[in-house]
Amino acid sequence: MEKQIDTAQAELRETFRGGKTRNPKWRKSQLKALLKFIKDDEEEICQVLHQDLGKPSAECFRDEIGVLMKSINYTLENLDSWMAPKSAPVPLMALPTSAQLVPGPLGLVLIFSSWNFPFCLALDPLVGAIAAGNTAVIKPSEHAPSTSAFLAKKIPMYLDSSAVRVFEGGPDMGELLMSKKWDHVFFTGGQNAGKCIMSAAAKNLTPVTLELGGKCPAILDALSSEREFNIAIRRITNAKWGLCCGQICIGVDYLLIEEKHVQSAIELLKKKIKSYYGNDPQKIGSMSRIVNKHHFTRLRGMLEEPGVASTVVHGGFMDESNLYIEPTILLNPPLESGLMTEEIFGPLLPIITVNKIEDSIDFVNSRPKPLALYAYTNNKDFKKRILAETSSGSLTFNDSIVQFIVDTLPFGGVGQSGFGRYHGKFSFDTFSHEKAVLTRNLLLEFSFGVPPWNKQKVNILRSAYKYDYFNLILKLLGLK
């Protein structure tokens, strides 16, 4: 297998050196081919996602197929402007000079995808890599084997095999790939695996983008009316249980609410769960399942920790034979338990009460920085405090998850939740190097910047560095 990787890398690098991937027509043709793949095989995509995760077809389209189609179309609409060089102003000292920022591809990139959205998270970064003019290798997650095999089969049928390859396998394959030199590594997954990726990349000084996870809190204020409170609960319900059975890095991991409002919130959550999934969510077919036995056992272990079972106020039923765990609500579980120290990645929702909602800021800040922070409030002063006093990859007011589909916003973490960002132009930028290009005229030459030195030259230099006369004149003339 190592020989196959070496051969593939050599061929992909030769393609890149040949310049084919830099051609705008080639980039667009590959993006259009990717779009055709999705449209042609939508039904089969849904089938493999159901095999791996039990995803309903509507969830497949909403969270993976639709998201990816939107991303490709947005990229195609804007690619010409993203690729265009951008003029940069220059100071008086550099005249006569012009300056530009010229984006160029990095080279050969490696993309690791995650199992919870195994189709979208494999191909969405690839959209940025292709748009930027790179060659790429995709390593799908072995925990979604049907999707992985499907991608390995279908990608060569639609995309240029001299520029894009797929390598399947488990941790051994990941380690083997990371032992090689890449021009960039893009990883989506857990923090422990992210540390391994970063450590291996350091050996070759390979830059990395790490899209990790973390415990994403939702702060629920009293809001202005019963109707608004009801809408907030509906959105939290969907964000917790409506996407891949809670197995999502930007899902609501725990809820913070004032003690005086907690009972009404719990009752509303119960009603929303019933309205979405009926009396028996396992039978209605609207919820994904736990990905495998390992993660089922991990989640069950969280519920079986000392002091946790007594805090369950709704749900808790488990069926190992079907990898099913009922939507479960817990009230004030021990803060030292796994539920409150580890990313849950499942259908368990701890609710933590605070005396006053402003205390939630200190609670969030006492823990690692989250990938996403959600706050349901109409209090302008409280919003300002949350924005100024907390740190998170993203901050969304009065909704959850929706920030992921906004291509004009970057998606990425901060601190332990990862670093680097993508989506829309941010994907293009991640897989590009913006080269500084300066061109100076040979017709004119100023002598005050070179020896022999005298006081007059120094005074001119002081003035030139203090004031940018060139840009000042442009502003006065209304040209800037």
pTM: 0.93
Would you state the pLDDT for residue 468? 61
Domains of the chain: 2-80+100-212+422-433 (3.40.605.10), 217-412 (3.40.309.10)
- pLDDT: which is higher, 463 or 474: 463
> pLDDT tens digits for 303-344?
999 999 999 999 999 999 999 999 999 999 999 999 999 999
Would you state the pLDDT for residue 421? 96
> pLDDT tens digits for 171-215?
999 999 999 999 999 999 999 999 999 999 999 999 999 999 889
Would you state the pLDDT for residue 144? 97
In this prediction, residue 446 has a pLDDT band, given cuts at 50, 70 and 90, of confident
Would you state the pLDDT for residue 477? 55
Query: Rounded distance, CA 244 to CA 64, Å?
Result: 11
> pLDDT tens digits for 262-291?
999 999 999 999 999 988 888 877 899 999
Q: Where are the beta strands (DSSP E) in 157-264?
A: 164-166, 184-188, 208-211, 217-220, 254-258
Q: Please, what is the average pLDDT of the chain? A: 94
Would you state the pLDDT for residue 76? 98
Would you state the pLDDT for residue 443? 82
User: Are residues 284 and 278 in contact, defined by beta-carbon separation less than 8 angstroms?
Assistant: yes
Q: Which residues are known to be catalytic?
A: 211, 249
Judged against a pLDDT cut of 80, whether residue 249 lies above it is answered with yes
Task: Fill in the DSSP letter of residue 23.
Answer: -
> pLDDT tens digits for 379-417?
999 999 999 999 999 999 999 999 999 999 999 999 999
Task: Output the CA torsion 207→213→217→223 (10° steps).
Answer: 70
Judged against a pLDDT cut of 90, whether residue 474 lies above it is answered with no
DSSP 370-396: PSEEEEE---HHHHHHHHHH---SEEE
Would you state the pLDDT for residue 202? 97
